[in-house]
Amino acid sequence: AFVSAGVGYGGSCFPKDVQALIRIADRAKFDFGILKQAEEVNKEQKKLAVKGAKKLLKTLKGKKVAIWGLAFKPKTDDLREAVSLTVVKSLVRSGAKVKAYDPVAMTDAEGELPKIQYAKTAFEAVKNADALIVLTEWDEFKQVDLKRLKKELKSPNVFDGRNIYDPEEMKELGFNYISVGRK
């Protein structure tokens, strides 16, 4: 279930089911406003990662941006309606150089996102990057050595699209840190 603040939902079922319910309601002349709003909010949530990166970096042109997580959720390689597709394409259009890592979804991602580089490990993705954007809440990312993460990044900029890190700890460690829906 998608009940936590974050950069939006994806997958093969939930978005399709929301759209189907809206169409059924429309045919029955019922205004299913809450579902229409949920769909609109989800579209806006998907823009937050790029907005956050721009806030951290001022410009994306020529910047190296690491992406952790391409699948729409952990423990799958499913990219259908994944937030990463929207985010990565927007970053590339803005002139960013993107290097991504996902524990299982990279083979499928290469067909969907051919204009980026792929890393063999999470730390390879962030090495000398100007910023990291976390898009999928894999356990590997939750349990990462944050001190090493800071050393590997060129600049300690992190946009946490899944709220997997503690904001106070990130601040104490010297990260420029943005999360979703919390201070």
- Residues classed as catalytic: 13
Taking alpha carbons only, the member of 71, 66, 91 closest to residue 81 is: 71
DSSP 115: T
Distance (Å, whole) CA 69 – CA 49 = 13
Question: 130 vs 91, 93, 150, CA distance in Å?
Answer: 13, 17, 11
Length of the chain: 183
Strand order, beta sheet including 64-68: 117-118, 97-101, 64-68, 131-134, 157-160, 176-179
Give the separation between CA 54 and CA 21, rounded to whole angstroms.
Answer: 35
Locate 181 and state its tokens: 């829906």
Q: Which two tokens stand for residue 121?
A: 């490990």
